[in-house]
Amino acid sequence: MVYHIYVSSLHIYFDQSKVRNDFIRSIVSVVEMHGDGLRVEKTNYELFEVTPLLTQKANLKIYRHVGSWEVITGEIQAALSITGKFTYTITNTGAYMNGNNPGPFYLPYSLVDGIPTKDKDTSDESSSLNRLRKIDDGHVAEMSLSLKNLAPPDQLMQLLTDYDVAVTAMPIYSGELIDQDISYSRSGMFNYNIPHLSLKPLSEFKEDGANWYNYFVPDDIGQMQEQVQAMMSDLEWMSNHIEYSGAELDIQRLAYLKKNGVQVYGAVVTGPVRELEKLTKVPEFQHFHLNRVEIWNWD
């Protein structure tokens, strides 16, 4: 009897909207800010539980926006202990052995003291462009692209105003090449691909419910400052409230962004394949990688 009263009391406390919202915010902020367009299910609160040791747990779907569809690519198992330690694992359950993840984003050459080079390691990009050209008009897709120069997010969105596409994420440069112990990969002499934060559309969790954006769209350039401020607020909240793998590096990133401002060097975009093909001709863009492709579902 005492045990049942204890368990019931736990659920009454943890089912409070603020406590539950903080857990959801932990999952969404950490996963989506490190996921290059990855999204976490935000509506199914029945999949939460609380252990006798006061750890909150959840199993949620993860998905990507391909056109107007939310394409499920896996599941996340997340846990938040009473001490604030947050852990998670992702299981890919998509229809393909590969193709769930966006391609790499390469830093602008000016950051690595390099110049554009053409070498044999561009085969993946050539394959993506060939595939894109051969897909007929009745399809939408997700594509990654890099910028040749760092730019504020609203400037990147300005480059997209003439195209019928939406943006699901932007890689942020947070000073990773300056006194930070990070790993990187390289394709060619000057093509550096580093771990990074992603600027994601705003998500808000309030006592009366949650609100979130699916995309950044060129028509909403005026809202980009609000989106950037929300990202900075989430990053600071993560640093102050939860302990997770990579938190120390994110604290350094936050300090860099507060001092230097937010600049991005690419985007994950989605839309009709012919519109994506047009983007490959924009002189400010480079390093294109075609990701998921679906039949037409664009409004």
Domain boundaries, the chain: 2-92, 109-295
Query: What pLDDT shows up at residue 13?
Result: 52
Query: What pLDDT shows up at residue 230?
Result: 92
Q: Is the dihedral of CA 64, 70, 71, 72 positive or negative?
A: positive
Average pLDDT, the chain: 85
- 266-297 per-residue burial string, b: 16 or more CB within 10 A, e: under 16: bbbbbbbbebbbebbeeeebbbbbbbbbbeee
Query: What pLDDT shows up at residue 202?
Result: 87
> Does an H or E element contain 144, and which?
strand 139-151
Amino acid occupying residue 85: K
Distance (Å, whole) CA 142 – CA 219: 19
Which residue numbers in the chain have pLDDT < 50? 2-5, 119-121, 189-190
Residues 214/65, Cβ–Cβ less than 8 Å: yes
Amino acid occupying residue 3: Y
Distance (Å, whole) CA 106 – CA 134: 25
Which residues make Cβ contacts (< 8 Å) with residue 178, sequence separation at least 6? 256
Per-residue pLDDT tens for 116-131? 555 444 556 778 899 9
Tokens representing 198 are: 């992603």
Residues 128/291, Cβ–Cβ less than 8 Å: no
Distance (Å, whole) CA 139 – CA 297: 8
